[in-house]
Amino acid sequence: MINRKLFFAFCLSLILTGGLLSFKLIKNDNRSRSHEAADAGLTLPEGFQAAVVADNLGSARHLVVTPQGDIYVHLAGTKNGKGILVLHVDGDKATLKSSFANFGGTGIAIKNGYLYASNSREVYRYKLDDNDQVINPDKPERIVTGLLDRRTHAPKAITLDNDGNLYVNIGAYSNICSEYDPNKTGCPILDSAGGIWQFKADKPDQTYGDGIRYATGLRNVVGLAWNQQDNQLFVMQHGRDELHNLFPKLYTVHQSAELPAECMFALKAGDNAGYPYVYYDWIQQKNMLGPEYGGDGKKPADSKYINPVAAFPGHYAPDGLLFYTGNQFPEKYKNGAFIAFHGSWNRAPEPQAGYCVVFQPFKDGKPDGKWEVFADGFAGTEEQKASGHAVHRPCGLAQGPDGSLYVTDDNKGTIYKITYNKQ
């Protein structure tokens, strides 16, 4: 009898091992088919290739690429005392030319012959020459100063419109304002944070009093861009954290991982996106009343708060937004939005997710159809991704003069160049 038992146990283990092995082989086979080596470890749609054009730069945040093929990339901190690196791209290689700016930060943009760059309190601009080279790297003009930096959501991401205005994100220095609004009478920090401020692009030393609060109720925005098609500001909000931890009776661990949505908003002056009173549930497709203010996961929000124009899974952390206007990629990408998702942390104990570049199709300046993952594989193995120990984390996006898409990674300091070449 014992022998038979042992025999069966032995058989079972053989079957199990066999099954596991064949599964592994199948998996490996799939991997080798996705041209990983040629694509810098990324998986991309048919016909696209990726190359690592630069590596180990430091914490590479946002970037711009000039018509002459120079890259200005902003580092979160300084490296050798410099916060902006200048590289020149030649094919699949970018060579470091110089560095300047004694401040690190996230925001960087080029408009009307100036390079704009921000740290967590200020925005500067540098005059460019006819070749888009910074004329005097040691003497920038300070455009905005005195913005709040209370560590949480401190980076001041920027963009500019076509009418001489500069837009600056001033993130809420809190998850959900609860420590500043104990009696739920209204979140007081919204007077100077939790929104997008508009300043003049050419007036020195502006501060709160000189700008206007263009839109409020935005928890934190890192990815933002001016849409040239309908002449409007688009932003990606980082949604709130900890629905389950703070309200275990109202939200399961799984709901808390998926909710709330990371939202894309199309903003007009005076819009209120509802933070901290409101969050968007992408599964119910509704703006919901936040649990801190009487919500229960079912009660809808007041309709005075704007709805997002597109919504993405919880905690993906959108750090880069770019409207693609190039001619290199297939027609469907034209005027659509690329979004760089930095990847989650507040999905634990569920597997972490994000760490990818997503494409959101647009038509006539508005999202049209379902988003899709465009570039994936930044995180490394499934285990590195699930545990949150991602190798690379997408942050900034830029379009090259030839229509190539550039993506920064602020973990290893990698810059990827993604091109299309249908063979």
SS3 readout for 338-365: EEEECCCCCCCCCCCCCCEEEEECEECC
In the complex, the smallest distance separating the C-beta of residue 217 from another protein, rounded to whole angstroms, is 20
The answer to whether 47 contacts another protein (rule: CB under 8 A) is no
Piece in contact with another protein (CB under 8 A), picked from 39-47, 81-89, 130-138, 381-389: 381-389
In the complex, the smallest distance separating the C-beta of residue 414 from another protein, rounded to whole angstroms, is 15
Piece in contact with another protein (CB under 8 A), picked from 147-155, 156-164, 288-296, 398-406: 147-155
Piece in contact with another protein (CB under 8 A), picked from 17-25, 189-197, 238-246, 284-292: 238-246
In the complex, the smallest distance separating the C-beta of residue 248 from another protein, rounded to whole angstroms, is 7
Structure tokens at 328: 């290199």
Would you say 28 or 245 has its CB closer to another protein?
245
Piece in contact with another protein (CB under 8 A), picked from 9-17, 66-74, 133-141, 156-164: 9-17
* Helix count and strand count (H, E) for the chain: 4, 29
Among 388, 396, 400, 413, binds another protein (CB under 8 A): 388
Q: Residues touching another protein: how many (CB under 8 A)?
A: 29
Q: To which H or E segment does residue 26 belong?
A: helix 2-32
Piece in contact with another protein (CB under 8 A), picked from 79-87, 279-287, 289-297, 387-395: 387-395
Cβ–Cβ < 8 Å for 37, 49: no
SS3 (DSSP) at 385: helix
In the complex, the smallest distance separating the C-beta of residue 151 from another protein, rounded to whole angstroms, is 4
* CA gap 60, 83 in Å, rounded: 10
The answer to whether 8 contacts another protein (rule: CB under 8 A) is yes
Cis peptide before 276, with omega less than 30 degrees from 0? yes
The answer to whether 422 contacts another protein (rule: CB under 8 A) is no
- Give me the half-sphere count of Cα atoms (radius 13 Å) on the Cβ side of residue 49: 11
Would you say 125 or 347 has its CB closer to another protein?
347
Would you say 165 or 346 has its CB closer to another protein?
346
Cβ–Cβ < 8 Å for 171, 193: yes
The answer to whether 14 contacts another protein (rule: CB under 8 A) is no
Tokens 């594989």 -> residue:
377
* CA gap 54, 189 in Å, rounded: 40
- Interface positions, 326-345, toward another protein (CB under 8 A): 345
The answer to whether 175 contacts another protein (rule: CB under 8 A) is yes
Among 90, 92, 179, 372, binds another protein (CB under 8 A): 179
* CA gap 60, 95 in Å, rounded: 15
- Give me the half-sphere count of Cα atoms (radius 13 Å) on the Cβ side of residue 18: 6
Give backbone dihedrals phi and psi of 256, rounded to 5 degrees, phi first: -65, -25
Nearest to 338 by CA among 357, 316, 364, 363: 357
Binding region for another protein (CB under 8 A): 4-5, 7-9, 11-12, 76, 151-152, 154, 173-175, 178-179, 241-242, 244-245, 248, 345-346, 348-349, 387-389, 411
